[in-house]
Chain A
Amino acid sequence: MYAFVSGPLALIAFIVFVLGLGIQVFRFFGMTREKEPLNISFPKPRQKDVDALRPPEGVSKKVRLKGTVLGMEPFLAIVTTLFHLLLILTPILLLAHNLMIERAWGISPPSLTEGVTDVLTVAVMGFCLFFFLRRIVSARVRALSTAYDFLLLLLVFLPFLTGFIAYHQLFAYKTVILAHVLAGELMLICIPFTKLVHMIFFFLYRFLLPGEYSFASGSRVWR
């Protein structure tokens, strides 16, 4: 059973994950088109007019930060950034995962020590708990939350929980490790087809946003 789950099923999960994301990228570019350039020529503004509009030094940066998510809600911005970074980096830099890759393909990707990844795993679980509580406590988030949102949070939480239990061998190891692999594969398969697809759309949407954190100058528009 374990051989099947960690062998062919893992391969299927990775193929579905990569192909699914590929299809979503393809769909995105199908749904959007290149914007026509505006054929309007504006006179070049005079330098002194440009200077007059510029806020004084120092104030500019402060004002700019105030208008961002980081400026408005620094705690949330830091927590969500850390959560997303660790969510991706922890499994990639985990020694046990990389040893399996080395055994299978003979390449050894860089790994962190087991102690460090253990702490990072606990951090990810802590962040999941934070987002869970936020969905219940904050009126703002509660107004938007559905059962589906909680389910997706659980989907992300489970591989880390089972991984943590398996590493510390708290329960029947064989059962837990099987559950861990299955939970990980389920999450991978779900990413392209659920709200977790924001993993890729976060970047794809940058083609639609002119001016702000955009790719290709946000030169695409909806078809």
Chain B
Amino acid sequence: MPEERITIDIDDEGRITAKTSGFYGTACMDALIELLDKDDVPMVIKPTDDYYQNQKNTVNNIIRQKGGKL
């Protein structure tokens, strides 16, 4: 059974680092954006090499917030 996993770290400054695995192609970005409110907070998005693969395999991506918005 395919498992989609998102690990989100929120540090004491309010910065978020999110990592995904088990998504296909760009679905991981969509999932992260849905969860993290892209419109509200500035983010740096760093797709890994796997992100560009169209095959049905595991991809890992990292979204890192620039900083907490207070």
Q: Do A and B come from one complex?
A: no
